[in-house]
Chains A and B, each alone.
Chain A
Amino acid sequence: MELKARVPTHREVAFRPEDREELHRLYHQMLLIRRFEERVAEMYTRARVGGYTHLNIGEEATVVGSAAALEPTDYLINSYREHGHVLARGTDPGRVMAELFGKETGVVRGRGGSMHLFDLERRFLGGYAIVGSHLPLAVGVALAIDYRNGREVVMCAFGEGATNIGAFHESMNLAKLWRLPIVFLCTNNQYAMGAAVHQDSAVVEIYRKACAYDMRAQRVDGMDVLGVREACREAVRIARDERQPSFIEALSYRFRGHSMADPARYRTQEEVQAWVARDPVVTFRRRLEEADLIAAEEAELLADRVEREVNAAIDFAERSPDPDPVDLFADVYAGGGD
């Protein structure tokens, strides 16, 4: 069947052999996210993970390609669908898994869970569960960078559903008006819970919304890790050097339901299969193989390594202590007090 949304045709990003190590790093991250998320799903069904849990399965190329465009000093901020970006930022998978398990050793000590990961050291400024609500925050972080004449950039990731809420439009306007160093990264996975894009948005080519703010915008194939990386690199460069925001729509697809609780009955198997045929992890591996940039044994070693990393993460989470209820009132206020 034909894909409903138009995938942009883009210049194939040519491989260069000297990139081999970097390409393996990207493939490793994509595989890690895929496997991590699959095991999270399993841990959810075994009641080790609770709450709302949203997976990045199907979106690995967008997640990894966008993170790869950032310097370690750049900021990344995201919605609740953020496990992948945190892993791509280099946060220890054990501490991420421990957070999902609600353990004291989790990235936010069991206070946030799946939707509220945070890692200040790696400049991951959080997962937020009110759709669109972190876009104004990204504007503020960029404002602070600008205030200090800093060189950092803020990448703000969200779904296409978030482009229908007021906070999106206020943030786009402020970012452009104040010439802030932001990259708005919209992962268009084509559904906001059960709503297909055309059901919720008067403009179905989401990137065109940016023209209301006279902002540079483009749509990229979100299934192509190198294409996403290239588009994001250019947007990051423009933010850093030209002090201008831009908007990137990465056309993607989520292979699972909206959250673990969603069986996704609102779409057909044919549609899902058509997108799964473009699986970003499989596609990237095939491209590497065809270009002789990964040997079969190398790919196997990488898969083994990922398996070990995810197993270790689960082990760590299992073995970690719960938070102590004595600390219930800790950290309501900075500096203490209630």
Chain B
Amino acid sequence: MPVLTYREALNQALREELERDPNVLLIGEDIGAFEGAYKVTAGLLSTFGPKRVRDTPIAEEGFVGAGVGAAMVGLRPVIEIMTINFILVAMDQIVNNAAKMHHMFGGAVSVPLVIRAPGGGGHQLAAQHSQSLEVWFAHVPGLKVLAPATPADAKGLLKTAIRDDNPVMFIENLALYNTRGEVPAGEHLVPIGRADVKRAGRDVTIVAHSRMTLLALEAAERLARDGISAEVVDLRSLRPLDRATVVASVRRTNRAVLVEEGWPTFGVTAELAATISSEAFDDLDAPVERVGGAEVPMPYAKVLERRAMPSVDDIVRAVYRTRGRA
């Protein structure tokens, strides 16, 4: 199977979907000649032209709303937001318009729209460029929220998202773009709303999404050397959330460590902890452990930034806490 970077996998998905369906178009700042701030759209302008790879001014509210409007009348726009931090000025269009319309208008209209945006920290970009805001969207009925961790899932989920008739938030992560993995060539579709057990194990369940899945896998590797068998569940989709896979895993391992890069307060791990406590309470041998980003605006200095982000060590320690050893 071909090995691609996460970036190349996304690019392949976009290219294939642009080829497949003339209603698909890309909209975003500097996605044409500049090829995207992170080069995800490299080469697409020259193949598909400026009508289908449409550069926009710096007007996130305007062009996100335009994407919603175009989707209402049957196009399938894929919008790139340079980084998720800039999406805040377009929140109204996403939350009040895209997410609401199908229901608010009695099912008369749908919004087949994908909004791609990378989040995450680790590049010394400081407080305004390092956030993980996926839970803001996962909170909202009417939106779907995806956050793949591997190149194969990135390709398969993006293709599925583009074919979905609902607004889909597709959350990437800056630190994943250069990661590599096997990616099936051609038609490869990953269903929305299904978590994936990325590593099977018996003793503890580690649940993560996006880049934290890679850290969880590293932690599992390290734990294996200590004779601890950790299962890693990659959520892939935050809304719809595959609670069943998480609960089934915890019922087998009897321990859960929940990880997210963003602030854990009211976060993904909070939602999962609530689910586990109501659906697997009697199966737990230890309190649920959570690992998340430090609750501060991301600082610039390398030492501070490193300290503020979840690490493999943090995950390993959390696993040990579920076993009564800190």
Which residues on A are within 8 Å of B, measured CB to CB? 75, 106-112, 116, 118-120, 125-126, 128, 130, 133-145, 147, 166-167, 170-171, 173-174, 177, 330-335, 337-338
A107 contacts which chain B residues (CB < 8 A)?
A: 106
Q: Is the CB–CB distance between A112 and B106 below 8 Å? A: yes
Smallest CB–CB gap between A161 and chain B, Å?
16
With contacts A111-B106, A331-B107 taken as known, whether A137 is within 8 angstroms of B72 at the C-beta atoms is: yes
Q: Is the CB–CB distance between A143 and B69 below 8 Å? A: yes
Of B91-99, B115-123, B317-325, which binds chain A?
B91-99
Interface check B274, CB cutoff 8 A: no
Q: Is the CB–CB distance between A147 and B75 below 8 Å? A: yes
A337 contacts which chain B residues (CB < 8 A)?
A: 193, 240
In the complex, how many residue pairs between chain A and chain B have their CB atoms under 8 Å apart? 142
Task: Pick the contact of A140: B67, B109, B166 (CB < 8 A).
Answer: B67
With contacts A118-B109, A147-B25, A170-B59 taken as known, whether A136 is within 8 angstroms of B104 at the C-beta atoms is: no
Interface check B105, CB cutoff 8 A: yes
B110 contacts which chain A residues (CB < 8 A)?
A: 334
A29–B37 CA distance with the chains assembled, in angstroms: 52
Task: Pick the contact of A136: B51, B61, B77, B108 (CB < 8 A).
Answer: B61
Q: Is the CB–CB distance between A130 and B96 below 8 Å? A: yes
A108 contacts which chain B residues (CB < 8 A)?
A: 104-106, 108
Q: Is the CB–CB distance between A128 and B25 below 8 Å? A: no
Q: Is the CB–CB distance between B108 and A118 below 8 Å? A: yes
A332–B143 CA distance with the chains assembled, in angstroms: 9
B240 contacts which chain A residues (CB < 8 A)?
A: 337-338
How many interface residues does B have (CB within 8 Å)?
A: 46
Q: Is the CB–CB distance between A141 and B62 below 8 Å? A: no
Q: Is the CB–CB distance between B75 and A174 below 8 Å? A: no
Q: Is the CB–CB distance between B96 and A143 below 8 Å? A: no
Smallest CB–CB gap between B209 and chain A, Å?
19
Smallest CB–CB gap between B71 and chain A, Å?
7
With contacts A137-B66, A144-B75 taken as known, whether A332 is within 8 angstroms of B57 at the C-beta atoms is: no
Q: Is the CB–CB distance between B73 and A133 below 8 Å? A: no
B70 contacts which chain A residues (CB < 8 A)?
A: 140-141, 143-144, 147
A140–B62 CA distance with the chains assembled, in angstroms: 9
Q: Is the CB–CB distance between A133 and B97 below 8 Å? A: yes
A111 contacts which chain B residues (CB < 8 A)?
A: 103-106
B73 contacts which chain A residues (CB < 8 A)?
A: 75, 125, 140-141, 144-145
With contacts A126-B101, A166-B61 taken as known, whether A144 is within 8 angstroms of B107 at the C-beta atoms is: no
Task: Pick the contact of B104: A116, A120, A171, A173 (CB < 8 A).
Answer: A116
A108–B108 CA distance with the chains assembled, in angstroms: 7
A141–B74 CA distance with the chains assembled, in angstroms: 9
Q: Is the CB–CB distance between A125 and B72 below 8 Å? A: yes
B75 contacts which chain A residues (CB < 8 A)?
A: 143-144, 147
Per-residue contact bits, chain B 113-151, to A (CB 8 Å; 1 contact, 0 not) = 000000000000000000000000000011010000000
With contacts A167-B61, A170-B59, A334-B110 taken as known, whether A133 is within 8 angstroms of B104 at the C-beta atoms is: no
B51 contacts which chain A residues (CB < 8 A)?
A: 147
B56 contacts which chain A residues (CB < 8 A)?
A: 174
With contacts A133-B97, A141-B70, A334-B110 taken as known, whether A177 is within 8 angstroms of B102 at the C-beta atoms is: no
**Which of A116, A137, A145 has its CB near the most chain B CB atoms (within 10 A)?**
A137
- Residues 158-207 of B at the A interface (beta carbon under 8 Å): 164-166, 193
B141 contacts which chain A residues (CB < 8 A)?
A: 332, 338
B89 contacts which chain A residues (CB < 8 A)?
A: 166
Q: Is the CB–CB distance between B106 and A135 below 8 Å? A: no
Smallest CB–CB gap between B59 and chain A, Å?
4
B65 contacts which chain A residues (CB < 8 A)?
A: 133, 135-137, 139-140, 167, 171
B72 contacts which chain A residues (CB < 8 A)?
A: 125, 137, 140-141
Q: Is the CB–CB distance between A173 and B106 below 8 Å? A: no
A338–B62 CA distance with the chains assembled, in angstroms: 28
Q: Is the CB–CB distance between B102 and A333 below 8 Å? A: yes
Q: Is the CB–CB distance between B57 and A173 below 8 Å? A: yes
Task: Pick the contact of B69: A109, A141, A177 (CB < 8 A).
Answer: A141
A334 contacts which chain B residues (CB < 8 A)?
A: 102, 107, 110-112, 165-166
With contacts A143-B70, A335-B166 taken as known, whether A130 is within 8 angstroms of B92 at the C-beta atoms is: yes
Smallest CB–CB gap between A311 and chain B, Å?
25
Q: Is the CB–CB distance between B62 and A116 below 8 Å? A: no
B61 contacts which chain A residues (CB < 8 A)?
A: 136, 166-167, 170
A133–B106 CA distance with the chains assembled, in angstroms: 20
Q: Is the CB–CB distance between A171 and B62 below 8 Å? A: yes
Smallest CB–CB gap between B127 and chain A, Å?
23
Task: Pick the contact of B102: A171, A332, A338 (CB < 8 A).
Answer: A332
Q: Is the CB–CB distance between A136 and B101 below 8 Å? A: no
Q: Which residue of A lies closest to B89 (CB)?
A: A166
Q: Is the CB–CB distance between B109 and A120 below 8 Å? A: yes
Interface check B26, CB cutoff 8 A: no
B102 contacts which chain A residues (CB < 8 A)?
A: 331-334
Q: Is the CB–CB distance between A137 and B105 below 8 Å? A: no
Q: Is the CB–CB distance between A174 and B63 below 8 Å? A: yes
B101 contacts which chain A residues (CB < 8 A)?
A: 126
Q: Which residue of A lies closest to B65 (CB)?
A: A136
A177–B105 CA distance with the chains assembled, in angstroms: 31
Smallest CB–CB gap between B88 and chain A, Å?
13
Q: Is the CB–CB distance between B68 and A140 below 8 Å? A: yes
A7–B119 CA distance with the chains assembled, in angstroms: 52
Smallest CB–CB gap between B68 and chain A, Å?
6
Q: 22 A-B contacts, Cβ less than 8 Å apart?
A: A108-B106, A112-B106, A126-B105, A130-B97, A133-B96, A136-B61, A136-B93, A137-B65, A137-B66, A139-B66, A140-B67, A140-B72, A143-B75, A166-B89, A170-B59, A174-B62, A174-B66, A331-B106, A332-B142, A333-B142, A334-B165, A338-B240
Smallest CB–CB gap between B211 and chain A, Å?
27
Give 5 nearest A-B pairs by CB, closest first: A136-B65, A140-B69, A170-B62, A108-B106, A137-B69
